[in-house]
Amino acid sequence: MRNTAIFLVLILITGCARKPEYREAPVVKDEIAVSISTLTGKTPVFFSYIHEGKRYDFFVQSVDGEVRAFVDACFKCAPKQKGFETERGRLRCRACGESFQLENLSGIGSCYPIPLSGELREGTYFVRIDQLFAKSRYPL
C-alpha cells in the first residue's frame, strides 16, 4: 500500500511539472494564422509552433473584439519553461503562481506574458513567425 501511495505522488509531481502539449499552430507562409472563430470568450487558446525540433508556445485571445497574442512565458519565469494556465477566469503562471484577470493582460514587469504584435485580416489574426522566435528566448 505504501509503495502505491509513493508511486501516485510521483506521478502527480511529474505530471504537474510539465507543460501540457498544445495544438499545432496554423501557418500560412511565414505567419501564424489563427481564425478568430476559434476564439471564444476571453479564454486564451494555446498553440505550439515546432521549428527544427524546438517548440515555441504562445496563446491568442479575444477580449471585447480585440485580438491579442502572447508568448506562453514571461521575462521573469521564462527560464523555468512552465508557461501559464487558465484558472477560474484568470491566467496563472505555473512557475511563481502570479495571476491576472484574463481581460487585463497588458502590463510591464512582474510576470505578465510577453506580448506578440499581430494583424487582423479577413477574420484571421496573423503573427509573424520571426517575431515569435525573437520574443521566445527559451524554446523547449
Query: Residue 8 domain-assigned?
Result: no
Domain with 33 in it: 20-135
Is residue 44 situated within a structural domain? yes
Q: Is residue 12 part of a domain?
A: no
Handedness of CA 105, 106, 112, 118 (dihedral sign): positive
pTM: 0.83
Asked if residue 6 belongs to a domain, the reply is no
- pLDDT value of residue 109: 66
| pLDDT of the residue at 138 | 65
Q: Is the dihedral of CA 21, 63, 73, 58 positive or negative?
A: positive
Q: Which of 2-6, 30-34, 112-116 has the lowest mean pLDDT?
A: 2-6
Is 105 a member of any domain? Answer: yes
Q: What is the CATH number of the domain that holds 79?
A: 2.102.10.10
Whether residue 28 is contained in a domain is answered as: yes
CA gap 140, 50 in Å, rounded:
9
- Total domains present in the chain: 1
What letter represents residue 54's amino acid?
Answer: K
